[in-house]
Chains A and B, each alone.
Chain A
Amino acid sequence: MWTRLLRPAADEGGPPDAVLTLTAIILLLRPFEIWWIAPFVLAAACLSLVFRPVRRAPATWLLVSALVAARIVVVWPLSDNHIYLLAYWCLAIGLALSDPRPAATLSASSRWLLGAAFAMAVVWKAVLSPDYVDGRFFRVTLLTDERFADAALVFGGLSHQQMVENRTFLEPLPEGAALLNPPDFVEPPRLRAFATLATWGGLLLEALIALLCLIPAGGRIELARLAALLAFCVTTYALAPVAGFGWLIATMGLAHCPANQPRWRGAFIAVFVLILLYSEIPWTGVLADWTGR
C-alpha cells in the first residue's frame, strides 16, 4: 500500500505532465504564509518540478493536499475559496495517480470538481444572495473595490472626481441615520450597463459551465464544456483579481482535455499564461491613463 503511493504513475494512461507541472507552479506562485506549512509545500512543488518521479508519485500530492487542508484549518474561516479547491485538486491528483487508470480518473475528477464548484457559485448568486441578481453587488463593487476601479473608469465612463464622490456617498451611516446634505451619486448609463453585463454575463456563463460539467457526456458536450471554461477564463480573469482561481480552472480544464486534442491542451496552457499576464500587467490602469480617465 505505502510503496504504491511512492511509485510514480506510468506514462501509459497517465495524466499529462503539464497538468502536474502547472499545479506545482500554482503552489509556487501563491505560497502560503503559515511558517510550518509554506516551506514544505514549496519544497514539494520545487522537487516535483525538477524530479519526474516526485511529480508522478501519489504521495507527493496527497501530502500537499494534507498541508493545504491544514492551512485551511489553521486560518479558519479566512481562507479564500480557491484554497479549498486547491486542496481538493491535489487530493484528486494523488488519488488518480494511485489508480490503474490515472488519466481517466483525473479527467473525471476535474469535471466533477468544476461542476460542483460552479454549481455552488450559481446557487449563491442566483438563490442565496438577494443583492446579486438585483445588480447591487457589481454596482457597489465597481465603485468601492480598488481592484475594479480602473475598469469602472474605462468601461463605465466615470471621471476620477465622480468616483471620489460616489465613494463618499457609499460610506455607511449608522442604521436609521440620514445626512442633511447627502453627496451626489453619479451613475452614468454606461456604468449601469457594465454592472448589468457583469452580473448576468457572469451568472449565465457560470450556470452553463456547471450544467455542461455535471452532464456526464462526451462528444460535442465535452467540447462545449472546454470552450465554456476557456471563455470563462479569458473574460473573467481579465478583470477579476483572483488569478489563483483562474490558474486552477485552466489546469483542471487541461486535465479534462482528450489526449487526441493537442489544440485544446495548448489553448488551456495559453490561458494559464494569459491569466498570469492579466494578474501582473495593470492593463485597465494603462487604458485609463491612455483615455485620460
Chain B
Amino acid sequence: MKTERDRTDACARVSWRTLLPVALLVGVAIAQVTLARTAGLSPWKGGGFGMFSTTDDAGRRHVRIFVSAADRSEEMAIVPSLEDAARRAAVLPADTELSRLARRVVDREARYQRPIDTVRIEAWRIDYAPGTLAATTRLLREFVYRVDAAAAPRR
C-alpha cells in the first residue's frame, strides 16, 4: 500500500521542476562523451562523471609549444602566463582551445618584439601498458597556427 509520501513523490516525478536538472545533467554528459570520443577531451573533465575511471587525467597530459619564424625555430617553455591556456588545451585538444593557446603565444612574442610566423602545438598523454604498466607518451594531436593566415580574415 502506498503512503501519502509515495503518492506525492510520484506526482513530483512528472513535474518539469524535477526533470529539468536531471535533463541538463544527461544532456551535458552526452555532450561530454561525444567530445571525449571525437575531440580528445579528458574523460575526467566536462561533466560526464568519468573521474576515477581512467589514467587519462589532466595530470598525465601536457602540451609542447614550438615557435618558428624566418630566422628562428625553437620549443617554448610553458611560462606562467601561458599555464592556464596550456592546461585547457591539454585537457581538450580541440581547435578552439589550441587556437586560444596559440594566440596567447603570438601575443606574448609580440610583446617581446620577437618574430613569429607559426606556432606548432603538440598535445601528449601517458599510456600504461596492460599487464606490465610500462609507461609511454603518445601524441594526441598536432596543431599548426599560422600567424599570417590567422590575421588574414580580420583584414
Tell me how many residues of B have a C-beta within 8 Å of chain A.
Answer: 59
Asked if B9 contacts A107 (CB within 8 A), the reply is yes
A23 within 8 A of B: no
The proximity string for A residues 134-175 relative to B, scoring 1 for CB distances below 8 Å and 0 otherwise, is 101101110000000000000000000000000001111111
Tell me how many residues of A have a C-beta within 8 Å of chain B.
Answer: 63
Asked if B135 contacts A170 (CB within 8 A), the reply is yes
Asked if B17 contacts A105 (CB within 8 A), the reply is yes
Selected contact of B52 from candidates A95, A176, A218, A240, CB within 8 Å = A240
Determine the chain B residues whose CB is within 8 A of the CB of A76 once the complex forms.
88
Asked if A79 contacts B45 (CB within 8 A), the reply is yes
Determine the chain B residues whose CB is within 8 A of the CB of A9 once the complex forms.
none
The proximity string for B residues 102-134 relative to A, scoring 1 for CB distances below 8 Å and 0 otherwise, is 000000000000000000000000111010111
For window 1-42 of B, CB contacts with A under 8 Å fall at: 2-3, 5-6, 8-13, 15, 17-22, 24-26, 28-29, 33, 35-36, 41-42
B73 within 8 A of A: no
Determine the chain A residues whose CB is within 8 A of the CB of B2 once the complex forms.
218
Q: Given A91-B24, A136-B128, A174-B136: A99 and B53 within 8 A (CB)?
A: no
Asked if B55 contacts A137 (CB within 8 A), the reply is yes
Residue of A nearest to B49 (CB): A120
Selected contact of B133 from candidates A128, A132, A139, CB within 8 Å = A139
Return B46 CB to nearest CB of chain A, in Å. 5
Determine the chain B residues whose CB is within 8 A of the CB of A96 once the complex forms.
17-18
Rounded to whole angstroms, the CA-CA distance of A218 and B8 in the bound complex is: 12
A204 within 8 A of B: no
For window 113-131 of A, CB contacts with B under 8 Å fall at: 113, 115-118, 120-121, 123-125, 128-129, 131
Asked if B137 contacts A104 (CB within 8 A), the reply is no
Asked if B12 contacts A101 (CB within 8 A), the reply is yes
Rounded to whole angstroms, the CA-CA distance of A87 and B26 in the bound complex is: 13
Asked if A216 contacts B49 (CB within 8 A), the reply is no
Dominant secondary structure at the A interface: helix
B92 within 8 A of A: yes
B54 within 8 A of A: yes
Selected contact of B9 from candidates A79, A131, A169, A218, CB within 8 Å = A218
B58 within 8 A of A: yes
Rounded to whole angstroms, the CA-CA distance of A76 and B25 in the bound complex is: 16
A286 within 8 A of B: no
Rounded to whole angstroms, the CA-CA distance of A132 and B53 in the bound complex is: 6
Rounded to whole angstroms, the CA-CA distance of A258 and B5 in the bound complex is: 8
Determine the chain A residues whose CB is within 8 A of the CB of B138 once the complex forms.
175
Determine the chain A residues whose CB is within 8 A of the CB of B24 once the complex forms.
88, 91
A189 within 8 A of B: no
Return A90 CB to nearest CB of chain B, in Å. 9
A78 within 8 A of B: yes
Determine the chain A residues whose CB is within 8 A of the CB of B21 once the complex forms.
88-89, 91-92, 95, 109, 112-113
Q: Given A124-B54, A172-B126: A112 and B22 within 8 A (CB)?
A: yes
Rounded to whole angstroms, the CA-CA distance of A62 and B22 in the bound complex is: 15
Rounded to whole angstroms, the CA-CA distance of A118 and B43 in the bound complex is: 15
Residue of B nearest to A65 (CB): B21
24 sampled A-B residue pairs with Cβ under 8 A = A77-B41, A78-B87, A91-B24, A92-B21, A99-B15, A104-B5, A108-B15, A109-B21, A112-B18, A112-B19, A116-B25, A116-B29, A124-B43, A125-B53, A128-B33, A129-B43, A136-B128, A136-B133, A140-B128, A170-B133, A174-B136, A174-B137, A175-B137, A218-B6
- Measured CB to CB, the residues of B under 8 A from A are 2-3, 5-6, 8-13, 15, 17-22, 24-26, 28-29, 33, 35-36, 41-56, 58, 87-88, 91-92, 97, 126-128, 130, 132-139
- Measured CB to CB, the residues of A under 8 A from B are 13, 72, 76-81, 84-85, 88-89, 91-92, 95-96, 98-99, 101, 103-105, 107-109, 112-113, 115-118, 120-121, 123-125, 128-129, 131-132, 134, 136-137, 139-141, 169-177, 185, 202, 216, 218, 240, 242, 258-259
